[in-house]
Amino acid sequence: MNIKQLLTVVSCATILFWVIWISIVSQINPFETDFFGFLLFYLTLLFSLLGTFFLASFAFRKAFNKFSLEYSIVGTSFRQSFFFALLVDSILILQGAKMLNILNTILLVAAVVVLEFFFLSYKKRI
């Protein structure tokens, strides 16, 4: 799969997940739903944010780093987009459970930063 096909698939999937998330928001009453309703809400939001952040990150990196290989940009963009989408989704889950405070937010951000530093410093041995 080349880069153009990948971006087309990710764009279509992102649009589909945003449409599904909007329909979930408009159809499900949060006061009457069960665990499955919340699971659908947060999973579709996670994948929607992942696709959106990936496309924005890839476009930004491609525009400002023209001499880098596209395949290395894809890996970095996907990893960082996943971490950021997971961070946003985790913060919303904690807020929904009324457990969000400044300490939890700092710990979540610190965990994501440490994880990203690990992946930046990790060198593959050949």
- pLDDT band at residue 82 under the 50/70/90 scheme: very high
Q: What is the pTM of this model?
A: 0.91
What average pLDDT does the segment 4-13 reach?
A: 96
DSSP state, residue 68: S
CB-based contact 91:108 (threshold 8 Å): yes
Q: Decide if pLDDT at 126 tops 80.
A: no
Amino acid 124: pLDDT: 65
Task: Say whether pLDDT at 123 is over 80.
Answer: no
Q: Which amino acid appears at position 58 of this protein?
A: F
CA distance 53 to 83: 10
The pLDDT of 7-18, averaged and rounded, is 98
10: pLDDT strictly greater than 60: yes
Structure tokens at 108: 């979540």
- Is the pLDDT score of 125 beyond 80? no
Sign of dihedral through CA atoms 71, 75, 77, 78? positive
Report the percentage of the chain scoring pLDDT > 70. 97
Give me the mean pLDDT over the 64-76 stretch.
Answer: 86
Query: 31 to each of 8, 10, 34, 90, 122, how far by Cα in Å?
Result: 37, 33, 9, 20, 45
Which pLDDT tens digit goes with each residue over 97-115?
999 999 999 999 999 999 9
Q: Using the structure block, give the residue that is written with the tokens 């979540």.
A: 108
**Domains in the chain: boundaries:** 3-121
Could you give the 3-state DSSP secondary structure of residue 101? coil
Q: Is residue 27 predicted with pLDDT exceeding 90? A: yes
Q: What integer pLDDT is reported at residue 9 of this predicted model? A: 97
